[in-house]
Amino acid sequence: MFKSVVIFIGPPGVGKGTQASLLADAFSIPKFATGDLLREALKNNTPLGIEAKTYMDSGKLVPDQLVLDLIKGKIAKIPNGIGFILDGFPRTLHQAEGLDVILSSLCHNVGLAIEFSMDEEERIVRLTGRRLCPNCQRTYHILFAPPKKDSLCDYCSVELVQRADDNEDVIRKRSVIYWETTKPLLEYYRQKNILMKVDASSSIENVFSRIKQIFSELN
Ligand code: ADP
Ligand code: ADP
Ligand code: ZN
């Protein structure tokens, strides 16, 4: 059984969501991506979604307390001792400390933080070509991971969409926020001796193999 809590940290477009989905399937573990959860809240017009929208559209981080409450609700439903992946959370030091408090109340702790790293211009190519299934949230890429048929999701046959925040202007803003606000988290996890760095610039399959190898050495 997979018992670790694993965190994915890296700038937008580096491939966190893609790998989180592959690993969740391969190891039969839950994964939570705060971006996906916020987009779902927005789609359902919940008060949280409505409040988050202006931040997301402009590429700013949603206030810490909103994401902490959101993630707390998800983690609380997981049976004790079962591991899971957090993709895109925490993104600030305050969120990381909040996560530690939530986990310790459940006798859990973060076992591994993976830093995804790659060159900025290549990330922009990934993000501008990214497409999303609005139904199941699966991610595609027009060149690197195209759907089997036209622009339809392989699983739902629903027309793929482009995220409103995947335009070059907002992408650059999100990247700046990553370097200024999220990158300091790496030091937080390095000091706990649980930080691993992965070269995210190679193919989806290569990155997947590397992370599977790291996972197999856990627990
Ligand atoms: P993140 O969650 O870090 O923002 P995604 O997983 O959504 O990144 O990936 C961004 C885009 O790049 C998507 O369109 C995805 O299909 C594509 N992608 C992900 N990993 C790779 C890779 N290793 N090589 C090429 N394209 C990739
Ligand atoms: P990416 O795939 O490009 O890394 P995400 O889908 O993770 O982007 O996030 C999209 C947007 O959702 C962010 O720009 C931000 O507005 C909001 N968001 C997601 N996760 C968090 C978080 N942990 N804290 C604050 N805002 C978040
Ligand atoms: Zn789908």
Q: Is the pLDDT of residue 3 over 90?
A: no
Q: Which residues line ligand 1 (CB under 6 A)?
A: 10, 12-18, 126-127, 129-130, 139-141, 144-145, 203-204, 207
Q: What is the mean pLDDT of residues 4-27?
A: 96
According to the model, what pLDDT value does residue 194 have? Answer: 96
Give the start-to-end residue ranges of the domains of the chain: 5-30+78-120+172-218
Task: State percent of the chain over pLDDT 70.
Answer: 100
Pocket flag, ligand 2, residue 18 (CB < 6 Å):
no
The pLDDT-based confidence of 74 (bands split at 50, 70, 90) is very high
Distance, C-alpha 161 to centroid of its chain? 19
Instruction: Reply yes or no on whether 39 is catalytic.
Output: no
- Which residue's CA is the nearest one to ligand 1's atom 14? 130
Superfamily classification of domain 5-30+78-120+172-218:
P-loop containing nucleotide triphosphate hydrolases (3.40.50.300)
**pTM here?**
0.96
Ligand located closest to 130 CA: 1
Pocket flag, ligand 2, residue 141 (CB < 6 Å):
no
Instruction: Reply yes or no on whether 74 is catalytic.
Output: no
Q: Is the pLDDT of residue 130 over 90?
A: yes
Instruction: Reply yes or no on whether 91 is catalytic.
Output: yes
According to the model, what pLDDT value does residue 217 have? Answer: 87
pLDDT in tens, 88-105: 999 999 999 999 999 999
Ligand located closest to 56 CA: 2
Q: At what angle do helices 34-43 and 64-76 cross, to 10 degrees?
A: 100
Buried b (16+ CB within 10 A) or exposed e, 118-156: beeeebbebbebbbbbeeebbbbbeeebebeeeeebeee
Q: What is the mean pLDDT of residues 6-20?
A: 97
Pocket flag, ligand 2, residue 62 (CB < 6 Å):
yes
Q: Is the pLDDT of residue 187 over 80?
A: yes
Distance 109 CA to ligand 3 centre (A): 32
CB burial class (10 A; 0-12, 13-18, 19+) of residue 203? exposed
Higher-confidence residue of 217 and 33: namely 33
pLDDT in tens, 110-127: 999 999 999 999 999 999
According to the model, what pLDDT value does residue 219 have? Answer: 66
